[in-house]
Amino acid sequence: MQPGDKLSTFTLRGSDGELHEVKPGGKGVLILFLCNHCPYVHRYASRIEELVSTYLPQGLEIWGINSNDAARVPEDAFAKMPAMAQRLGLEGRYLHDEDQSIARQMRAERTPEAYLFNPAGELVYRGAIDDNHQDAKLAREHYLIDAIEAILLNHVLQNQYETPVGCTIKWKQHG
C-alpha cells in the first residue's frame, strides 16, 4: 500500500477467539503487523503497549495482526497469541491472518510494521515505529507517534514512509 490508498474492511479472528471487523472510521486506524517470536517485536513490546494505552482511549482504533506461517515458526501459532496480546495490551485486538490475505493485500513485509489510516481510511503513514529498534531511550525520531499526533490534530503529514526494521513475514510455501 502507498500513502493515499484506502483501507478495505476485513474480519479476522482475534486472540480472544472472537471475530473482529476492522474498518475505517473513528479518529483513525493503526494496524501493526506483529508476531509472537520476533526479537524486534519483543524489543518494541513496551512501546507498543504504551501506544495502545495512550491512543486507544483517544479514539484511535489499534489492531495487531499476526500473518506468519505457524508451520514454519511454531511459536507464531494462534494458541500462543493470547500471551503476546496481553503483553502488548492488545487483548481482543491481536488478530490472526491465517491465510495471509491481509498481509498480501497491504504488502506487509516485516514485524513490526505500522500502517496508519486517517478517519477517511486513507493510508497516511507506513513503516517503522521509531529510529531505534534496540533501545527506546535512544530513539530520536518517533515516526509513528508523530504521525498519530498529526492525524489527531487533522494535520497533513510531511513524512509518510520510513523503512521498517524487523523480521520478515514468514510466508506459506505454495506449490
**Residue 139 within any structural domain of the chain:** yes
Q: What's the domain range around 64?
A: 10-168
- Report the percent of the chain where pLDDT is more than 90: 93
The pLDDT, as a whole number, for residue 159 is 72
Does the residue 31 lie in any domain? yes
pLDDT tens string 82-130: 999 999 999 999 999 999 999 999 999 999 999 999 999 999 999 999 9
Q: What is the CATH number of the domain that holds 25?
A: 3.40.30.10
Which residue bears the cell 520478515?
Answer: 168
What is the spatial distance between Cα 47 and Cα 64, in angstroms, rounded to a whole number? 13
Is the residue at 175 inside a domain? no
Q: Which of 42-46, 49-53, 71-75, 154-158 has the lowest mean pLDDT?
A: 154-158
pLDDT over threshold 80, residue 174: no
In the DSSP assignment, the letter for residue 131 is: S
* 2-44 tens-digit pLDDT: 889 999 999 999 999 999 999 999 999 999 999 999 999 999 9
- Residue 156 above 90 pLDDT? no
Residue 55 lies in a domain: yes
* 73 assigned to some structural domain: yes
Closest CA to 52 of 30, 78, 22, 81: 30
Residue 173 lies in a domain: no
pTM across the whole model: 0.96
Are the C-beta atoms of 77 and 46 separated by less than 8 Å? Answer: no
Distance from C-alpha of 85 to C-alpha of 14, rounded to nearest angstrom: 9
Number of structural domains in the chain: 1
Cα separation, 7 vs 156, in Å, equals: 18
Residue 157 lies in a domain: yes
Shortest CA distance to 101 belongs to which of 12, 2, 7?
A: 12
Question: What pLDDT score was predicted for residue 167?
Answer: 97
Is residue 113 situated within a structural domain? yes
Q: Where are the alpha helices (DSSP H) in 26-71?
A: 39-55
